[in-house]
Structure 1
């Protein structure tokens, strides 16, 4: 995470919950508002003291009055045809009430404030910021009005799919809302030339982009962000921890989109040193106004429906142990996470461990699920084909690297297997968060790690950091 220089020109605003949250909406359970002063250059408090003086508007677990439905939360902000289109599909599966993060973040977002949305994986952050986007975009205006920056193509494909569903044209008999917003996906691959022509001919209202493809267009001045109303940075901690992307991301936040009217939203399930990050948003001028930090489930960052297990074995027995677990669990849909191939292994001429594992499972696993592969080295079309096959099939066994740990939304996944232990607790959080993603479901899901005896100490550290208990399984 980027570190700010000495504190300058900072003021912390103390506000009441009614200043942010409408009366009919539950107030945020853990919200901090930090603001930038336009005066008082002499005021230079130390960072720690400054952060300690910020006000928590509502403590975790405090009641917030009567619960509001999604329609009530968005009334008067999100166009009726957009909200109705979503609810007509969602109400069929009982999705009428907002999730915790939606009930807490939407009043802040729709009030026009810059926001850091910090909540569990699968908690509904994407829909929250998309509803904001559609409240701000005007279909009749020919300009890029909303930009959503994502770290991976897979997450971009998912966000684009939901955005296009919300933006799809209204029925012919809806005379008031015949126009619709256009959504463009700039996700690398071989389609940027076609997008270049599209951008010059008729700028889309909403752009979903990875940083590399976005900066390629901005550097060549194919389009500009002068009319930008909303800027969303999804999986913000992942982008800031990437040395390849952080400088480009800062340019997007400052020089490429410098409008003082822009509303900025950061989202992630994990923001290490989140107080420092909220402070940096102001100090580095990544945000244009007061920043509200909506932190949901701060005590338990992992969904409560997950059951965590581990099996201790030697490295040579890992394949056999995984096979035994698969046969005993008989998962309908599962993901097996494998670590990235080391440079030493590549130089030695060894094949990728993912490919070796897929070959082993295809010859040894007797389950009904198809064995599929998803890794970063695959080209764009292959990765897109794998995801399409996963969503169309009745069951799957996906072998993947950590490319699948961010943004891949497969709600049918009930089992996660860590064939290789993740490198950090944050990586464990995002891997585990690929399951337990069905809204309002109490279905128990399993996360099982196959580890050596030495790795048990690493897993215990993850337990302490993420506040979960891991049970040993004896095979």
Structure 2
């Protein structure tokens, strides 16, 4: 199967060919015809399987069809893509803009009896930076807007964005959007949109169990979607892609730093993403790596947006070899040729584990994920293994034989989902509130 068989304009197929994309992934092959047909969609697929293109291509085709219409002469957007993080907003925007740049300007590539449509405009709106350049960019309007929910509300409050002509709403990483802190903003954005619209929900995970983000997502899906096409890969959120090889190294907690430095020296990968649990750990580990000659930088949510962009751009360009990151980097980021992910600290949940290691092995490439497993957290990693349905053999490397004594057995393993934290309980309350909401304006 090729993209040409999915009902896309030849110009879009040509733009894909320029980007060396000729064959759709399974989620793209299923989603694109459904979206082009105007159906609502609830899609769940593992990270790295091409969900962004699955909705980006139909959105561009819709915008091209509408080019020159009454709303588009004023450039009111036909589509709004809501995402949970600034980095993901930039990444989705780049995918859309890259395709727009690949569209041919000459009329013969469209229709011989009409001029080509005007160049589509994609606006990216996210917090953490000054709003003024984004307001200026919207003066000429936009065909597609990619944004975080809070910044949409800010821009609308400045009378810089009209959403009355919207045809399609996309929630990307929808489960995260429904996490605590996003649900209220999302409801406020929904209230600004026309009732008659197409709604597309994409996610790599729906959350574990019936509480938290999973229940909130289902509640919003019930409100938003009408007779949706449901695409669900049951491995999403619990099993990592088969292209990712996993290793688990048993090592004492205090020896993780020396082991990390030895592995980086031996493997000599040009790009490595190291995950830690806290901002303090990210800065400490990165600083120690720098002292030992590794080009390492910390990445966490307390950095300015400009700094975060520079860190990721440095990794993509090869100027930085190692990024030591918190879980803010676990979702949505696409770093080409990232062959190695290391869990210096284990993630709190099985879902987070899949998202972390899913930064490698993307778009058909192979990748390696290494987890450090001190004896004190062995039970925690066993439960992660159980939930992903995969056993990872333990290794002990020369010079790093562990001496720590594991603690008494904990039936929960400390993994999120069994023993509820305060944040989990608050999320369940938010999910219950979302389930009880019956706002008629949220439906088509």
TM-score under structure 2 length normalisation: 0.80
Q: Helix, strand or coil: the match of 2:379? A: helix
| Cα distance change, pair 328–385 in 1 and its aligned pair in 2 (3 A) | same
Match of 1:381 in 2: 306
Match of 2:278 in 1: 340
Q: What does the per-residue CA deviation read over 1:219-276, in whole Å, with 9 as the maximum and x for residues that have no partner?
A: 44432311111111111111212x21111112323x121331x111111111125996
1:423 corresponds to 2:362 = no
Tell me, in whole angstroms, the C-alpha distance in 2 between the residues paired with 1:106 and 1:474.
Answer: 46
The answer to whether the Cα contact below 8 Å between 1:170 and 1:177 also exists between their aligned partners in 2 is: no
Give the one of 219, 222, 235 matched to 2:160: 222
Q: What does the per-residue CA deviation read over 1:155-177, in whole Å, with 9 as the maximum and x for residues that have no partner?
A: 11111111111223755544632
Q: Helix, strand or coil: the match of 1:307? A: strand
Structure 1 stretches of 4+ moved >3 Å = 169-176, 219-222, 273-279, 297-301
The answer to whether the Cα contact below 8 Å between 1:169 and 1:179 also exists between their aligned partners in 2 is: no
Shift of 1:278: 7.2
TM-score under structure 1 length normalisation: 0.75
> 1:36-435 to 2 correspondence within 5 Å?
68-73=1-6, 75=7, 78-90=8-20, 95-137=21-63, 138-140=66-68, 141=72, 142-168=75-101, 170-174=103-107, 176-199=115-138, 201-241=139-179, 243-253=180-190, 255-260=191-196, 262-272=197-207, 280-281=219-220, 283=222, 285-287=223-225, 289-296=226-233, 298=235, 301-341=239-279, 352-365=280-293, 370-393=295-318, 396-435=321-360
Greater Cα offset, 189-198 or 106-115:
189-198
Match of 1:33 in 2: none
Q: What does the per-residue CA deviation read over 1:57-104, in whole Å, with 9 as the maximum and x for residues that have no partner?
A: xxxxxxxxxxx211111x3xx3332331122222xxxx3221111112
Q: Helix, strand or coil: the match of 2:181? A: coil
Q: What does the per-residue CA deviation read over 1:418-475, in whole Å, with 9 as the maximum and x for residues that have no partner?
A: 11111111111100100001x333x3x2211113212111111111111222121211
What is the aligned length? 379
Match of 1:20 in 2: none
Identify the structure with the greater helix proportion: 2
Tell me, in whole angstroms, the C-alpha distance in 2 between the residues paired with 1:172 and 1:131.
Answer: 18
Tell me, in whole angstroms, the C-alpha distance in 2 between the residues paired with 1:169 and 1:315.
Answer: 50
Tell me, in whole angstroms, the C-alpha distance in 2 between the residues paired with 1:171 and 1:298.
Answer: 39
Match of 1:472 in 2: 394
Please list every run of 5 or more consecutive structure 2 residues that lacks an aligned counterpart in the other structure. Answer: 109-114, 398-444
Shift of 1:123: 0.2
* Aligned alpha-carbon RMSD (Å): 2.2
| Cα distance change, pair 169–125 in 1 and its aligned pair in 2 (3 A) | closer
Shift of 1:150: 1.0
Tell me, in whole angstroms, the C-alpha distance in 2 between the residues paired with 1:193 and 1:334.
Answer: 35
Q: Helix, strand or coil: the match of 2:313? A: helix
Match of 1:10 in 2: none
Please list every run of 5 or more consecutive structure 1 residues that lacks an aligned counterpart in the other structure. Answer: 1-67, 342-351
Greater Cα offset, 388-397 or 144-153:
388-397
Shift of 1:193: 1.6
| Cα distance change, pair 113–172 in 1 and its aligned pair in 2 (3 A) | closer
